[in-house]
Amino acid sequence: MFTALLLSAPGTPIDPALAEALRGAWGGSALDWLAPGEAVEFGMPEIPSNRWDVWAELQQGGVDLVVQKTEGRRKKMLLADMDSTMIEQECIDELAAEAGVGERVAEITARAMNGELDFEGALVERVGLLKDLDEGVIARVLESRITHMPGGRALIATMKANGGHAALVSGGFTAFTEKVAAALGFDEHRANTLLASGGRLTGEVARPILGREAKIQALHEITTRLGVTPADVIAVGDGANDLGMLGLAGTGVALHAKPVVAEQCEVRVNHGDLTALLYIQGYRKEMFAI
């Protein structure tokens, strides 16, 4: 059995007639509203051949469509990227803005996340542009520039309340993942380390650099330690360096992702927030921990 799930953009309720029409066209079971106006699903025996045509049409109306196997959708572990996923910014871009090189660094970041540049080389180049920046800028950026992606705290709290484990794995920096992980309730975090001396950034990052392969390694290491399998993981990210872990996880979610990333993922959330990952697992809104 398979499940077709419709998710709305915040403030844009799903038209019940639209959901019913799709259910009828695909020969699905009765509609089941996980959240009134926000998330509705139905079961069906097979994946329809026009799945992606319907997906593209629904996108025009601010509705996401996720088609997946019904069995095994509830996961035991969350593996999440940080920048533009659990938070709404790219930390290195915000640091660069404080250093007066924001435009140049943002351009490199965008190309790296689109897979146009080698992640490690792009990171080294961008960090180099931060040389001599006052180390105290990190705290200022965290305080004034960083905001959490809506739904993140509910996602983690609900999964943990149901026995899940949450890990934050970022190609960004530990100075940020430490704060974000604590604020959102993650069990652990991994990221790169910005080097500093005499209160100023040196323009270098500690080796080895955590990138695409390190995220895959984290998935394997953490699941082995917990005694679960990659199939038990729901992973979420938006950039090219997330593709490895998204492909290995039982459910890999491309969240507001770059087109080159989204097109390689079966599960794409372009309009909903992080609570979409709970609906994808079959949680109802009244089951959310917060």
Name the pLDDT band for 110 (thresholds 50, 70, 90): confident
**pLDDT value, residue 85:** 97
| H/E run at residue 262 | helix 259-262
pLDDT surpassing 90 at residue 11 = no
Percent of the chain with pLDDT over 70: 100
What pLDDT does residue 9 have? 83
How do residues 196-240 score in pLDDT, each as one tens digit? 999 999 999 999 988 889 999 999 999 999 999 999 999 999 999
Q: Which residues contact 278 (CB under 8 A, 6 or more apart)?
A: 154, 155, 158, 159, 287, 288
Cite the beta strand spans of the chain per DSSP E. Answer: 2-8, 32-35, 39-44, 63-69, 77-80, 165-173, 188-192, 194-197, 200-205, 233-237, 251-255, 267-269
- Residue 139: predicted pLDDT: 94
The span from the first CA to the last CA of the chain, in angstroms, equals 31
| Structure confidence at residue 158 (pLDDT) | 98
The contacts found for 101-104 with CB under 8 angstroms, 24 or more apart, are 101/129, 101/130, 104/129
Has 187 been annotated as catalytic? no
In angstroms, rounded to a whole number, what is the distance separating the alpha carbons of residues 171 and 168?
10
Place of tokens 């931060």: 130
Query: Considering 83, 232, 238, 273, which one is annotated as catalytic?
Result: 83
Residue with the bigger pLDDT between 102 and 71: it is: 71
Domains and their CATH numbers in the chain:
1-71 (3.30.70), 74-89+148-289 (3.40.50.1000)
Question: Residue 105 pLDDT > 90, yes or no?
Answer: no
pLDDT at 194 over 90: yes
> Does 81 participate in catalysis according to the annotation?
yes
pLDDT recorded at residue 37: 95
Nearest to 65 by CA among 39, 46, 43: 39
Q: Average model confidence (pLDDT) for the chain?
A: 95
Instruction: Indicate the DSSP class of residue 232.
Output: G
pLDDT of the residue at 109: 85
Lowest mean pLDDT segment, chosen from 112-116, 219-223, 240-244:
112-116
Residue 27 has what pLDDT? 97
Average pLDDT over every residue of 7-30:
95
User: Cis peptide before 208, with omega less than 30 degrees from 0?
Assistant: yes
With cut-offs at 50, 70 and 90, classify the pLDDT of residue 261: very high
Q: Determine what percent of the chain is predicted with pLDDT higher than 90.
A: 85
- pLDDT, tens digit, for every residue of 176-192? 999 999 999 999 999 99
Mean pLDDT of 263-270: 97
Q: Which residue in the list 81, 93, 232, 273 is annotated as catalytic?
A: 81
**Ramachandran angles phi, psi of 8, nearest 5°:** -100, 160
